[in-house]
Structure 1
Amino acid sequence: MVVMPLLLLVAGSAAVAAAARRTPAPAPLLLVAVGLAVSYVPGVPSYTLDPHVVLPLLLPPLLYTSATDSSYLDLRAQLRPVALLSVGYVLFATFVVGWAAYVIVPGLSLPAALVLGAVVAPPDAVAATAVARRVGLPSRITTILQGESLLNDATAITAYKVALGAATGEGATWAGGIGEFLLAAVGGVGVGLVLMAPLHWLRTHLTEPLLQNTLSLLIPFVAYGVAEQAHASGVLAVVVVALYLGHRAWEVDFATRLQEEAVWKMVAFVLESAVFALIGLQLPIVLKRLGEYEGGSAAWYAVAVFLVVVVARFVWVYPATFVPRLLSARIREREDNPTWRGAMVTSWAGMRGVVSLAIAFAIPSSMPDGPRNLIIFLTFTTVIGTLVVQGVTLPPLIRMLKFPGRNQQAETLAEANAQAQASRAAETRLDELLSDERNALPPPLADRLRMVLERRRNAVWERLGQVNPVTGESVDDTYRRLSREMISAEREVFVRLRDHRYIDDEMLRALLRRLDLEEAAAFREAG
């Protein structure tokens, strides 16, 4: 049965990812390592990475959740460096890696080598996001890496199709490839622009949070599918729609936002965990298909391609970071001065992931078995090499470079000022409403509304206060702890009353939900 292996994959990968949170090792690396080990255990089912499943079913939701968490305004501010990486670097890496493979591997044609270059060219959205969350990169670098990983798949897939056509004798030309890329890019953006407003209108006009969240789960697949049917870039369509919906998320009601955040966190956790576990589980399949290239020569090819991939990113990133500033006074005026440390991290944070493997496994059988199997093997070793070597060393590299930390006090002051302005506006609106006799409230209830505003306004300022000399807690930590203790006491009473049949389970659930919302509010106010 297919169901049991799938359940084992999801449950096992989730367990490993949860365990990784208690270790210094990044979750992607631990998942890949465990997947490699488990793949050799007798009796373990064979997990085949089907590109017809991975690309249309896994890539859209992963791109969607990453894009909705990104900032449209930040990405727009960093559009030039993002474009240089997501388009310029991918094409550069395709040609450099392809040419190197053509020179290094005897008998490998140039078109087949360029197929390999296109497959391993794009850093992966999942890998970049997972590592960026863990190591706490500076915001500008994180924005650039996330923007690159969101958009570079479209470039790589188009370059792959052109190179594949040449390798299989289908008569594709690079001039035609440029036209195909432009059509895919313009079409993907166009589909996203057409879909984003109607989808947002649906989200804001559906009155049931469950329906709204069902729509939310369908959106990435709809955008991807419509674009692919139009022979446009499904990747770009998903990203455009997700950026717009994330930017306008404040217009959706609070219940939908609360549910949606929880749902997408769960979806992203399960998919990311399963994706990295799948990478490790592919090793036996890859080795079985290696054929004529197995042995020491294959190992040498793997090391050489990995080194070319790593070096090529440095060769592109440093000039792309500093040369435009030297040539354009406008760039010098509008953008902050980049540092060599930022370029170093951007160069080193080029992990490859499951998208490269999915594209490699999608190479049709019309390509000769030898080159096809070698491309899959070299893709696999490059993905593993970048995840292990760069993923392990990236956190200590960032610590060694001593990036300036975030100014927590300045951020808290900005938050407090924003909250003060919002509270004043709310207070003014409350006075206007209470002056109307149709909104008359007893004084205790009106005072309660004002107390809520006062508490919200003061909560941020209190974070700047001193720590408790007895417990060492900050003010917000103490507030959070006491709130939870009070709510826990109430919760125990409700459960005891249910057990004694004074209230039924339906009433218990309603009361517990109210406490859950209060606890969430207390946590947010204090945190």
Structure 2
Amino acid sequence: MDAELFYVLVGSISVAAFARWRGWPAPLLVTVTALAVSFLPFVPELKIDGHVLLNLVLPPLLYSAALDVSFVGFKRSLPQIRRLGIWLVLITALVVGLVAWWIFPSLTLPGALLLGAIVAPPDAVSAAAIGRKLGLPRRVMTVLSGESLINDATSLTLYRVFAAIIAGGAFQLGASIWEFVVAVVVGVVVGLVFGILLHQLRIRLDDPVVIGTFGLLVPFGAYAIAEHLGGSGVLAVVAMGLYVGYNAPRTDYTTRQQEAPLWLSADFLLESFVFAYIGLQLPRVISDLGRESVGEILLLAGVVLVVVLVVRPAYIYPAHAWAMWMQRIRLRRWERSLASGDWERRERLEQERSERFAAKHPEPAAAGRQRRRPTVDEVKARFTEPELSWKDNAVISWAGMRGVVTLATALAAADLAELDDEASHAIVVVAFAVTVGTLLLQGLTLPALIRGLGIASDVDEEQDAAELAAVRARTRQAGEEFIERKRAVWEEKYGAADLAVFDRFAKRMTRVEKDTDRAQETEDSVARPTYEDLVALSKGWLHVRREILLEERDAGNLDEELMRELITAMDAEELALDTRGATRPQSRA
């Protein structure tokens, strides 16, 4: 088994590397190659327990994806993400379950609903890869990435509910809803606790190798502990990743530079293996079809595949129209409230409460309770979600490829003792057909759909240019203020003689070594500025610029992905400073 796993890893990585070299979607090529290789007689069947596969593959992939997701964008698009990640999964599971029960009654209703929960969640790995390559707008990428972070939690919770019913339990709607709520709350709390602890470690420990190692291990711990406590391990890992990713710019630049290639390599390895594993399951599926009910199972697989493809757009367009209609209603209510004087009445009541509170508690804390009338733009920002066109929704509707969660949960369900052989075989075959069918049908045609609709990120580029111009002006001003403050300190410490060195450095941050050497060649009894002084000045200048970027990000004036690109450039500047200092000859005594 060890040798087989090694061969699969090497083969899948080789195929994925070739796909990246040619500019092709690696997940699709790996899957197709694995399907073809599975027919070779000397290729053994790769068997891995579904639960083990989920526990080993899902946490790092989810955590890495959450690190890259813009938390600000995720928060703004949360209504859309929630509709897709929760309600669409529930509706898909219900529709698939009822259709499967009608076509294949021997599944029983709980078994059919279990099948629905298994095939419900899309895997956005391949969709995201295609979208990034073709330049999908950021608003679409945020929705797809956010959906993939939470739909697995919904699916796995439904899986647990229906598996418990199959095991002999009775279905109780209230108990099922309570289990879902507990899974969400416990999962998010556990994830935030792990995220806070990891972030504190990242800002206190000055060893990027150790921090990177902890980063690789912590997702497994958060997932396992959340599941042990009855929560959602998926949401625990997602919450931790969002928290750590949002606060990553506050850590040392060496930590960011260490973990970026680390997670890129981990993603490349795990994704290559996952899609190869999906393709290599073809022999097992064929062997399961060697039954008397082969016709019914194939019919069931084909119908479920069609249902999965149809339900997604049939839900997305009406749900989006309903959300836009409700959004307009809420905005009209707020506009009427602002125009009718309701806000003034609420302000007066709030002021009276503050005065009564201040009379009993004369501390100045009550002064901060006064409310300010919101502007129309602030109200719109609070109640509106990013606008999606019908073309955007067309891409989102067709980006519903299934992946490892569907196949792994199907393999885990096949091991349930309460399911008979025919039902378990049907679940595995249908899950395989839906996974491979969506990967090939949607994955191969999605690029053509994107090009045909003419969707591009031109709006993102224009917005990025405007935000970049504004933030550059602000950082330039903050940098000048920082330089002026340091100039006074420099003059006091080294005297007016060395202000020329300072001024040259302030104007041109390069040629630091040349300026420093000139300053050190002047023999005088007074203190002379050293290379370390100039490096400290440069790092302080970088720190001020980073703080401005964080402030603009937190205020919603700078897109988080653009902020990360700018901070990456600053990290490179700081690395150059440290590298130059490490390789520079020692100063003469």
Same fold by TM (over 0.5)?
A: yes
- Determine if the alignment matches structure 1 residue 357 to structure 2 residue 404: no
CA contact (8 A) 2:401 2:438 kept: yes
Matched residue, 2:564: none
- Determine if the alignment matches structure 1 residue 447 to structure 2 residue 504: yes
1:395 to 447, 454, 472: 447
Moved more, 170-179 or 261-270: 170-179
Cα offset for 1:410? 5.0
1:366 partner letter: E
Cα offset for 1:277? 0.8
Cα offset for 1:46? 2.4
Distance 2:284 2:401 in 1: 22
Matched residue, 1:346: 396
Distance 2:102 2:130 in 1: 33
Call closer, same or farther: CA 1:316–1:331 in 2, change over 3 Å.
Answer: farther
- Determine if the alignment matches structure 1 residue 384 to structure 2 residue 383: no
- Aligned ranges for residues 75-86 of structure 1 at < 5 Å? 75-86=74-85
1:447 partner letter: R
Matched residue, 1:475: none
Match of 1:284, SS state, is helix
Match of 2:42, SS state, is coil
- Aligned ranges for residues 14-413 of structure 1 at < 5 Å? 14-23=13-22, 25-292=24-291, 295-328=294-327, 329-330=329-330, 333=380, 334-363=384-413, 364-407=416-459, 408=461, 410-413=463-466
Distance 2:511 2:127 in 1: 41
Match of 2:128, SS state, is helix
- Determine if the alignment matches structure 1 residue 428 to structure 2 residue 485: no
1:330 partner letter: R
Distance 1:439 1:218 in 2: 48
How many corresponding residue pairs?
465
Match of 1:48, SS state, is coil
Cα offset for 1:236? 0.4
Match of 1:41, SS state, is coil
CA contact (8 A) 2:136 2:456 kept: no
Which TM-score applies when normalising by structure 2?
Answer: 0.74
1:383 partner letter: T
Call closer, same or farther: CA 1:205–1:48 in 2, change over 3 Å.
Answer: same
Call closer, same or farther: CA 1:243–1:292 in 2, change over 3 Å.
Answer: same
Call closer, same or farther: CA 1:125–1:434 in 2, change over 3 Å.
Answer: same
Distance 1:319 1:163 in 2: 28
Cα offset for 1:212? 1.3
Moved more, 313-322 or 16-25: 16-25
CA contact (8 A) 1:305 1:378 kept: yes
Call closer, same or farther: CA 1:259–1:337 in 2, change over 3 Å.
Answer: closer
CA contact (8 A) 2:150 2:235 kept: yes
Distance 1:88 1:362 in 2: 24
Moved more, 23-32 or 116-125: 23-32
Call closer, same or farther: CA 1:199–1:42 in 2, change over 3 Å.
Answer: same
Call closer, same or farther: CA 1:424–1:209 in 2, change over 3 Å.
Answer: same
Cα offset for 1:155? 0.8
Distance 1:8 1:439 in 2: 65
CA contact (8 A) 1:279 1:354 kept: yes
Cα offset for 1:449? 5.1
Call closer, same or farther: CA 1:158–1:433 in 2, change over 3 Å.
Answer: same
User: Where do 4+ consecutive residues of structure 1 move more than 6 Å?
Assistant: 453-457
CA contact (8 A) 1:62 1:126 kept: no
1:357 partner letter: L
2:485 partner letter: E
1:123 partner letter: P
Distance 2:99 2:23 in 1: 35
- 1:162-214 CA distances to partner (integer Å, 9 max, x unpaired)? 12222332334343222211111111112123332222111110111111111
- 1:253-284 CA distances to partner (integer Å, 9 max, x unpaired)? 01111011110111111111111111001111
Match of 2:106, SS state, is coil
Distance 2:122 2:108 in 1: 25
Distance 1:439 1:32 in 2: 66
Moved more, 116-125 or 288-297: 288-297
1:435 partner letter: A
CA contact (8 A) 2:111 2:162 kept: yes
Which TM-score applies when normalising by structure 1?
Answer: 0.82
Call closer, same or farther: CA 1:430–1:379 in 2, change over 3 Å.
Answer: same
Provide the identity percentage: 40
Cα offset for 1:344? 1.4
Distance 2:135 2:444 in 1: 14
Call closer, same or farther: CA 1:294–1:127 in 2, change over 3 Å.
Answer: farther
Match of 1:44, SS state, is coil
CA contact (8 A) 1:203 1:215 kept: no
Match of 1:323, SS state, is helix
- 1:380-427 CA distances to partner (integer Å, 9 max, x unpaired)? 000001100011111111111122542435533532442342233223
Matched residue, 1:507: none
Distance 2:447 2:313 in 1: 18
